[in-house]
Structure 1
Amino acid sequence: MKKIIAILLSLLCVLAVSAAQEKKKSETSEKFLLHDDVLAVDYSLESYYVLSGKMLQVELFGKTGTFNIYCTDSDGRRVALCSTRDLFDSTEFLVKVDGIVFHMVRSNSVKKELRRLDSGAQLVYTFADGFRFVIDFSLIASRSSQPEDIVQISLYSINENSFIRSVDVKGIFDTICGEFSSVHFSTAHGTKIRNENRFSASELESERAVISSNGCVSYQFVLNGQNVSPLESVTFANINELYKMDWNSGYRKGRGFSNIRGYDDSAVMLDWDAFFLEPGEKKDLVFYIAAAADESPRGLAYVDGSSFAEPKIKEIPAVEEKPKLAEKKTDKRTDVDFILPPIRDYQLDPAYIQDLIDRIDALQSSENVDHKKISQLNAELDAILEKLRRR
């Protein structure tokens, strides 16, 4: 009798485990209803998502195709690593396909979508002629039993057309942490960057990583090492100057980070070698952004294979103070009261108005609400509607 009871209990346990597995499988199926065969991922579409860890968060918007990265400091505050203005649209990737340059955020001809994955997120940009560009974000811990302190960014270029494509990729990051220091950036080799500069591929072999700090939080672009895709160059310049540059020129060594549109408004541009894609081919480019509070970022330790060794805790490099002009600002460009310019004819277009409304909605749903920007956009919308009413 006891043997029969034991067998029955064993069968019940097996059935319970099987039911739990089926339930989990069903829940996963409901959570991720879509599948990408090329990238081999299950996903769900979202309009807004925060890929969140204890130390790092990546905030993503589907309609605008924009993102920002945050690091939690020792006081528990989230610190943005890139500018928060205009829903982060000054940080983006540019892709030149068959000689035509596309801004992933600013090109209206590029369809944008946000995917939530089981352990990450993707921004997907689809072109009308069978080309896709994907930014894949995942969080990694540089050492065991510690919070994730690295964002792995994988860039996928996918040719879904029937002919060969030429592709060139750049990434522009409108960084803000170093703008509180006279040294905006430094490298793993110790080079200090105070004004416009550029490193070639050969120079990156020794410089290896770009570091920026505000004295509380520091972060590191890991640009050389195991599993890091080689770059053609890295350029440091004023954000507006970077966007004004021709694809392969415009750099001017020694020019300051200030211009008429922004004071000490520095940014980083990553430029990979151009490549060709055969029909149906996929090319991936990988780099890492590591961040830390009260110690040096461990991105290089991770890519060099010493990721789980006990770290030597170091203080964040000292920040060289600038004049008090910028001391109290968190994002100096948002501290200036806006003046609404006259409404132009192009702003009366229904598509422009809908885009304006979408931007307001997206900003209001953000965890980091920019009230001043929302007020500015609402004022513009009111002025447009008033002009339409007068017609």
Structure 2
Amino acid sequence: MKKCGLFPVVCIMLLSAVVSVAADGKKNAGSDNADTVSLNSAASGATVKCESGKIRLVLQGGPGTFRLYAVNKDGTAVPVLVDYDGFTSTYFMLRAGKAEYKLNESNGVGSGAVKTDTGGKLLYAIPKTADVAIEFTFMKTNPDRDDDMLRVKITVTNREPRTDTFAVKGVFDTVLGETTGTHFSTARTKSVNSETQYRTMKNERWIISQGSGYGVQLLLDGGDITPPSVVTLGNKDIISLPLWEPVATTTRSFDNVMSYNNSAVAVNWEKTAVKPAESSSVVFYIAVSADGENPEGGAYLASLAGAGGLSAAEPDGRPAPAAVNQSDTAVKQPAPQPVSDAKPKTGVPFDVITEEKLDPEYIRALISRINALEDDDKSVNRDELLRLNAELDAILAKLRQR
């Protein structure tokens, strides 16, 4: 059974929100009419709640965030991504030329939420730059199942007077695997417990975070999925650094001085040149599971491969998967364990952080130095390594305060 609703007041969705934002990506009370963007059919303060089958999706128009839950057989919804701080640690970013915009922050980015017949949309407006629509569509991994998957389509429309390049990035703050012996798994690798970076997902196909009887799966190759340019599994604080492409060191754990077992996934897609008033899109899927089952996105991809490509669409426009058996590539469910509510741990302080040290190039050089020290087992200077990690943690803490 599918049900979608708006709260706190249903009629708020009948209004057209006019959000004034400055073109340079920062608030500007003196912006003129040219800087005013209308988010049609969406109220900037509205919250859209949709539930279908095993999925509960909550879109918050104000901060521009989404909350994702797996619903068990008793009707209890459990978050499959980190839920503290209003899910703001999971977000999308847009790169327009050389400018980067985090789409769940109000600093110059107008946002709204709207329901659709098959799910919901988050809408963002960056004046004189771009409009972004993220459409979430409920789907089934198998015709015999309840809805247990979302098709996510991110569309960027160029609002500049000239052709420009645009790229999209998604950061997903995972939690389910952090209390198990397996942070992540893929179609080819049963257990990933250290930083890893993939330049192609043709073999790995997907990323699964699973634990406590629940799971979430990012499908990143196959069918109409847009191939990512790079996928990074790493410490959440490292992935959240202001570097468009995260830095990863193979075999480095998901710990740092400030946090323990704190992993996340970053997905970068290739930049695309877009003409004025035209659009480009990327597509991927998110499958969920509950009650000790595995996410079945692999079965959906197998059905597409068996059909020789994309399946036909249902009358409501949703792709219809062919009937298939359970995927043989599913990873065995780890033993259920309680999900930890622990926050990042505080480490060695580093008091003097200047503006120069917040520069992305400085941060990249700092990480490269740390990586070089960690790779040199024979002559590693433990004191220097501790000091540099403390400096990096202090930089992260200061960036989070902005």
C-alpha separation between the residues in 1 aligned to 2:246 and 2:115?
37
Unaligned runs of at least 5 residues, structure 2 = 1-10, 18-38, 307-320, 346-402
Does the 8 Å CA contact 1:156/1:285 hold for their aligned counterparts?
A: yes
**Which residue of the other structure, out of 322, 336, 339, is the alignment partner of 1:308?**
322
Aligned residue for 1:192, secondary structure, equals coil
Secondary structure of residue in 1 paired with 2:300: helix
2:327 is equivalent to residue 317 of structure 1 = no
Q: TM-score, normalised by structure 2?
A: 0.67
The question of 1:261 aligning with 2:275 is answered no
State the alpha-carbon separation in 2 of the partners of residues 249 and 285 from structure 1. 20
Q: Name the TM-score, length of structure 1 as normaliser.
A: 0.69
State whether structure 2 residue 145 is matched by structure 1 residue 146.
yes
Matched ranges for 1:365-384 at <5 A: none
Alignment partner for residue 333 of structure 1, among 328, 332, 343? 343
Cα deviation code 1:350-390 (max 9, x no counterpart): xxxxxxxxxxxxxxxxxxxxxxxxxxxxxxxxxxxxxxxxx
For residue 310 of structure 1, report the CA deviation from its aligned partner: 4.3
Alignment of 1:81-92 (within 5 A): 81-92=80-91
Corresponding residue for 1:196?
195
Greater CA deviation, 229-238 or 182-191?
Answer: 182-191
Pairing 1:243–2:240 present: yes
Q: Deviations over 1:292-312 (max 9, x none)?
A: 233322223223425332433
- Superposed counterparts of 1:122-271, under 5 Å: 122-201=121-200, 204-244=201-241, 246-248=243-245, 250-271=247-268
In the alignment, is the contact (CA less than 8 A) between 1:232 and 1:273 conserved in 2?
Answer: yes
Are the equivalent residues in 2 in contact too, given 1:179–1:266 (CA < 8 A)?
Answer: yes
For 1:195, the aligned partner's letter is S
Q: Classify 1:216/1:30 alpha carbon distance in 2 versus 1 (closer, same or farther; 3 Å).
A: closer
- Whether contact under 8 Å (2:64, 2:105) holds in the other structure is no
Task: Report if the CA contact (8 A) 1:153-1:287 is conserved.
Answer: yes
Closer, same or farther in 2 for the Cα pair 1:320/1:298, shift >3 Å? closer
Say whether the 8 Å CA contact 2:296–2:326 is kept in structure 1: no
Q: Is the 8 A contact 1:197 1:236 kept in 2?
A: yes
How far the C-alpha of 1:318 sits from its partner, in A, is 3.9
CA offset digits 1:96-126 (Å, max 9, x no partner): 1110111111351111111122222111110
Could you say which structure has the higher helix fraction? Answer: 1
Q: Aligned in 2, Cα 1:310/1:274: closer, same or farther, shift over 3 Å?
A: closer
Larger radius of gyration: 1
Deviations 1:101-160 (A, max 9, x none): 111113511111111222221111101214111111110012225311111110011012
Alignment check: 8 A CA contact 1:225 1:300 kept: no
Q: Distance in 2 between matches of 1:292 and 1:228?
A: 20
SS at match of 1:109: coil
Q: 1:285 aligns with which of 282, 290, 295?
A: 282
For 1:150 and 1:65, the matched residues in 2 are separated by 21
1:60 CA displacement: 1.4
In structure 2, the residue corresponding to 1:96 is in which secondary structure? strand
Q: Confirm or deny: 8 A CA contact 2:299 2:324 kept in the other structure.
A: no
Contact 2:175/2:339 (CA < 8 Å) preserved in 1?
A: no
Q: How big is the shift at 1:81?
A: 1.0
Provide the aligned C-alpha RMSD in A.
Answer: 2.8
Partner of 1:296: 294
Shift of 1:289: 0.6
Matched, 1:77 2:76: yes
- The CA deviation at 1:320 is 6.8
Deviation at 1:179, TM superposition (A): 0.7
- Alpha-carbon distance in 2 for matches of 1:328, 1:299: 24
Evaluate the alpha carbon distance shift between residue 186 and residue 328 of structure 1 in structure 2; reply closer, same or farther with a 3 A threshold: closer
Distance in 2 between residues matched to 1:152 and 1:259, nearest whole Å: 33
Instruction: Give the conservation status (yes or no) of the 8 Å contact 1:197–1:252.
Output: yes
Q: Distance in 1 between matches of 2:281 and 2:135?
A: 10
Cα offset, 1:64, TM superposition: 0.5
Structure 1 runs not aligned, ≥5 long? 1-28, 36-40, 322-326, 337-391
1:273 CA displacement: 0.7
Q: Tell me the equivalent position of 1:24.
A: none
1:273 counterpart SS class: coil
Cα distance change of structure 1 residues 245 and 108 upon mapping to structure 2, 3 Å threshold: closer
CA-CA distance at 1:73 after TM superposition: 2.5
Partner amino acid, structure 2, of 1:317:
K
1:6-25 superposed matches below 5 A: none
Deviates more, 1:127-136 or 1:265-274: 127-136
Give 3-state SS (helix, strand or coil) of 1:317's partner.
Answer: coil
